[in-house]
């Protein structure tokens, strides 16, 4: 049973997640994408440990579950949407879309809408206790943050960069709420037999980070999607 002090530790860590997410959102608006990525990684670390601490300290509570979802909607909903918005503001557009250039960046906020839907589904879906259905919001956020920090020049400065980003917004929004099963990275033990898929994923991440640096985060998310899709098809 948690005492008066320890029962507040998990919620304090969750609030740190929210605080980091707020700063990441501001950094994204200011187009300081490297700092946005830093604070998003910090938010993801806090998000990982708050649930773990709640279980270890036996400090789970209804308010903890609610504040966790609210914090995640900022750190992994609004923050990636702001990154997409800022990238779209910087982008060039084909002549046919030029008259709408001042309005098109707002499409980036679709990510926040679908992230909220994803989080709401997760809270009430009993199938997602040991795995996920649809793209986890932290994975989507790391994708956008690393794309902005590590592959900025690929999209900004290209005539069709804005169009490509719009396609990515639509694709990632759909993946957030799709019915594609995706494996969890939580290890219940360290055996190869029980965690073969997780070990294959982690081993595949090493060359991606080595070759791509910061942009490796985005490549890792694509690798995660591909591995989930292959596993799902084999299981059918």
Backbone angles phi, psi at 183, to 5 degrees: -75, 155
| Nearest-angstrom CA–CA distance, 121 and 133 | 9
Q: What is the mean pLDDT of residues 171-193?
A: 83
Supply the pLDDT for residue 3: 63
Q: Which residue has the tokens 């982690």?
A: 202
pLDDT tens digits, 6-34: 777 888 889 999 999 999 999 999 999 99
Supply the pLDDT for residue 206: 93
**Of 148, 132, 122, whose CA–CA distance to 214 is shortest?**
148
Supply the pLDDT for residue 146: 94
- Of residues 52 and 106, more confidence is placed in 106
Q: Which residues pair with 181 in a beta bridge?
A: 133
Backbone angles phi, psi at 218, to 5 degrees: -65, -40
Q: Are 59 and 102 in contact (CB under 8 A)?
A: no
Tokens linked to 164 = 């490509």
Highest averaged pLDDT of the listed ranges 7-11, 75-79, 184-188, 195-199: 75-79
| Nearest-angstrom CA–CA distance, 72 and 121 | 13
Q: Return the minimum-mean-pLDDT range out of 66-75, 100-109, 113-122, 224-233.
A: 224-233
Q: What is the mean pLDDT of residues 213-226?
A: 89
Q: What CATH fold (topology level) applies to the domain 6-183?
A: 1.20.120
Share of the chain above pLDDT 70, in %: 94
177 pLDDT tier (thresholds 50, 70, 90): very high
Backbone angles phi, psi at 133, to 5 degrees: -115, 105
Supply the pLDDT for residue 67: 86
The residue ranges of every structural domain in the chain are: 6-183
**Of 201, 72, 208, whose CA–CA distance to 140 is shortest?**
72
| Nearest-angstrom CA–CA distance, 233 and 219 | 21
**Of 90, 73, 75, whose CA–CA distance to 30 is shortest?**
90
| Nearest-angstrom CA–CA distance, 100 and 30 | 22
Q: Return the minimum-mean-pLDDT range out of 8-12, 22-26, 106-110, 142-146.
A: 8-12
Q: Which residues pair with 131 in a beta bridge?
A: 183
Burial class (CB in 10 A: 0-12, 13-18, 19+), 151: middle
pLDDT over 80 at 126, yes or no: no
Q: Which residue has the tokens 């994803």?
A: 118
Q: Are 110 and 80 in contact (CB under 8 A)?
A: no
pLDDT over 70 at 1, yes or no: no
């Amino acid at each position: 049973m948690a005492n008066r002090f320890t029962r507040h530790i998990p919620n304090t860590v969750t609030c740190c997640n929210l605080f980091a997410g707020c700063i990441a959102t501001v950094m994204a608006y200011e187009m300081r994408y490297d700092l946005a990525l830093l604070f998003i990684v910090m938010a993801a670390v806090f998000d990982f440990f708050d649930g773990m601490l709640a279980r270890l300290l036996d400090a789970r509570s209804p308010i903890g579950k609610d504040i966790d979802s609210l914090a995640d909607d900022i750190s992994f909903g609004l923050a990636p949407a702001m990154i997409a918005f800022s990238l779209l503001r910087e982008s060039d557009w084909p002549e046919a879309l030029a008259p709408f250039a001042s309005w098109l960046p707002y499409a980036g906020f679709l990510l926040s809408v679908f992230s909220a839907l994803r989080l709401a589904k997760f809270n009430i879906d009993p199938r997602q206790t040991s795995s996920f259905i649809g793209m986890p919001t932290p994975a989507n956020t790391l994708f956008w943050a690393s794309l902005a920090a590590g592959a900025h020049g690929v999209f900004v400065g290209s005539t069709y960069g804005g169009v490509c980003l719009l396609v990515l917004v639509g694709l990632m929004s759909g993946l957030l709420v799709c019915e594609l099963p995706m494996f969890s990275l939580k290890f219940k033990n360290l055996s190869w037999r029980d965690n073969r898929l997780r070990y294959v994923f982690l081993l595949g991440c090493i060359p991606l980070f080595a070759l791509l640096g910061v942009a490796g985060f985005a490549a890792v998310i694509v690798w995660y999607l591909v591995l989930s899709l292959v596993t799902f098809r084999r299981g059918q």
